[in-house]
Chain A
């Protein structure tokens, strides 16, 4: 199956700093990628839809200036958590759908962010 690689898998940062998370589709072109956030024992909440070459579309309640998304190529999208605070600590997951095989969405491994 298609592979989506997400990096880093774990990161610990200090309050006030920024963290960048990368999401790559390794063997297919993903014109659209999605960023989710998941709190313990809760489901995935869609944060934003990342479109290659254009601005991301954010879900209601998600601060676009805090969660910067860049989708510069057909295989790479990045999420930058700016000025991180402890309440930003969460599990962040990206996914991409292969338009050639539209039925599946493939997920990255997830990034566990801890802000101290």
Chain B
């Protein structure tokens, strides 16, 4: 089976930085994804990592270490609209995605 762990909740202040960690143990590895999901809406794609290292995309960055089974999503210059659930998902050796339980981020003024 697939095991993907991430914290349940995080709270941060507007303008601050928050790092959401994700650890995984899967039967194979074909990439790790981060999605943002607002309540009642479908997930939207944020990032994809398949090689070790940091991928930066605007205020969001994602890091991967395959040897450690570890990734993080870094959100900089937090805005109120960033309050959402952030899902870590791993693709095993095919086109499936296995999702973590999600991390609810609350941004406070």
Q: Is A68 an interface residue (CB 8 A)?
A: no
Q: Is A44 an interface residue (CB 8 A)?
A: yes
State which size class the interface on A falls in: 20 to 34
Q: Across the A-B interface, how many residue pairs have beta carbons closer than 8 Å?
A: 51
Which residues of chain B come closer than 8 Å to A6, judged between CB atoms? Answer: 42
* Highest count of chain B CB atoms <10 Å: which of A34, A49, A105: A105
| Stretch from A70-78, A80-88, A107-115 forming part of the interface with B | A107-115
The main secondary structure of chain A at its interface with chain B is strand
Q: Is A106 an interface residue (CB 8 A)?
A: yes
Q: Is A46 an interface residue (CB 8 A)?
A: yes
The main secondary structure of chain B at its interface with chain A is loop
Q: Is A103 an interface residue (CB 8 A)?
A: yes
Q: Is A24 an interface residue (CB 8 A)?
A: no
Q: Is A32 an interface residue (CB 8 A)?
A: yes
Which residues of chain A come closer than 8 Å to B98, judged between CB atoms? Answer: 46
Which residues of chain A come closer than 8 Å to B41, judged between CB atoms? Answer: 109-110
How near does chain A come to B64, taking the closest CB pair, in angstroms? Answer: 13
Cβ-neighbour of A43 out of B31, B50, B95, B99 (below 8 A): B99
Cβ-neighbour of A107 out of B43, B96, B101, B102 (below 8 A): B43
Cβ-neighbour of A105 out of B40, B45, B50, B101 (below 8 A): B45
Give Cα distance in the complex from A112 to B41, angstroms.
Answer: 10
Cβ-neighbour of A34 out of B40, B97, B102, B104 (below 8 A): B97
Interface string of B36-49 (1 = CB under 8 A from A): 00001111110010
Cβ-neighbour of A44 out of B31, B43, B45, B50 (below 8 A): B43
Q: Is A27 an interface residue (CB 8 A)?
A: no
A-B contact pairs, 6 of them (CB 8 A): A34-B95, A42-B102, A44-B43, A103-B50, A105-B95, A105-B97
